[in-house]
Copies of this chain bind each other. A is one copy, B any other.
Amino acid sequence: MRYDFGSDNTAGMAPAALQAVIAANSGFARAYGTDETTARAADQIRQRLDADAEIRFVFSGTAANAIALSMLAFPFEAVLAHQAAHVCTDETGAPGFFGQGVGLIGLPGLSGKIDQGALEAALSEPVVGHRQPAAALSLTQSTEYGTVYTEEELRHLIEPVKAMGYGVHLDGARLANAAAAGFDLTQIPRLGVDILVFGGAKAGANGTEAIVLFDKSLARRLDNRLKQAGQTASKGRFLAAPFLGLLESNAWEDGAAHANLMAERLADGIEARSPFILAHPVEANAVFVRMPEEAHARLNALGWACYRFDDGSVRFVCSWQTQVEVVDEVVEAISTLG
């Protein structure tokens, strides 16, 4: 089985990330994130966002997002999110676990983007009653369906939420792909996002994600949560180093731009050479294809890993490591399935 298109998690560390790990390994370093590698990597993220935020590097995206939500909603409250968002579908109840009961309210919307009307309807529900009332909004950029919110779209979703005094979380597991697609990262704090998860794993890091806290007064609270939740690295330099390597070298952006280009090439090839229809606009690094069960099975049998997603289409994900030749090969394979 070839794993190229199953997920952007199957790639290794990008060379710049690995080199930074090797460089960070020499000698002793202060434990628990007080080392120099961590400080420098945090500076890189602050520069990208043009914001004086607190940054913490954690082990996994599941923990990063769930802990972020636990800071925006009490156990008896709920978080609004797209019904296809990772936090809703894919984390074995992690938000309820880290948030000790926090609920999720799934919202509809085309191609992974929350429908504004549905959001406003949810916001207008009474806050006192027998259901967990909404207390925060969780957004994903780029979305689970490979689309990228415009600044304007985000503003229309965030504004009514902030007007209620609720918090906003942005899951940026694929933020690099959104940036490569033209999304201006410096708008994130300006739009009113309270906590950002700045993605590393899918951009070529080992598996790490960074929590970005725009309200710095919450840092002690976050630190205590991280320690209690087993997300404080004794050898913190190994979490920060891949970010440092990727960001200092611009490999974070370059790798994502390459991934997006490969997705575009793949989508173009499928449209040109197969009878299959794309299920969603291709704006980042993922391609969703409406493909009958039999064709999908044959493609898998040919050694091409790709999964059927919640909407019934088949997902192909490209990464910094996806090669042009391999894209052309899979297009060739798909063209024979029709």
Q: What is A's interface to B at a CB cutoff of 8 Å?
A: 2-4, 6-7, 9-13, 18, 21-22, 24-32, 58-64, 66-67, 74-78, 89-94, 96-98, 100-103, 127-128, 130-133, 201, 206-207, 220-221, 223-225, 227-235, 237-239, 321
Contact = CB atoms under 8 A, between A and B. Distances in A.
A132 B2 CA distance: 28
Q: Count this chain's copies in the assembly.
A: 4
A3 B292 CA distance: 56
B96 A103 contact: yes
A60 B93 contact: no
Given A2-B28, A89-B131, A233 B97 contact: no
Given A12-B25, A13-B25, A60-B232, 6 more contacts: A7-B234, A9-B234, A59-B60, A92-B227, A93-B228, A94-B230
B229 A230 contact: yes
B94 A229 contact: yes
A199 to B, nearest CB: 11
B26 A12 contact: yes
A85 B233 CA distance: 19
Contact of A10 (B30, B131, B231): B30
A279 to B, nearest CB: 21
Contacts of A90: 130-131
16 contacts: A3-B28, A9-B235, A12-B29, A18-B21, A59-B59, A75-B228, A76-B228, A77-B224, A89-B131, A92-B224, A92-B227, A94-B228, A96-B103, A97-B228, A132-B224, A132-B228
A61 B66 CA distance: 20
Contacts of A229: 63, 94, 97-98, 229-230
> How would you classify the secondary structure of chain A's contact residues: helix, strand, loop or mixed?
loop
A229 B25 CA distance: 28
B94 A75 contact: no
A62 B28 contact: no
Contacts of A63: 229-231
Q: Which residue among A75, A90, A228 has the maximum number of chain B CB atoms within 10 Å of its CB?
A: A228
Contact of A31 (B7, B30, B101, B221): B7
B91 A227 contact: yes
Contacts of A228: 75-76, 91-94, 97, 101, 132
Contacts of A221: 74, 76
Contacts of A62: 227, 230, 232
A227 B29 contact: no
Contacts of A28: 2-4, 10-12, 321
A323 to B, nearest CB: 11
A224 B12 contact: no
A91 B130 contact: yes
Contacts of A97: 75-76, 100-101, 228-229
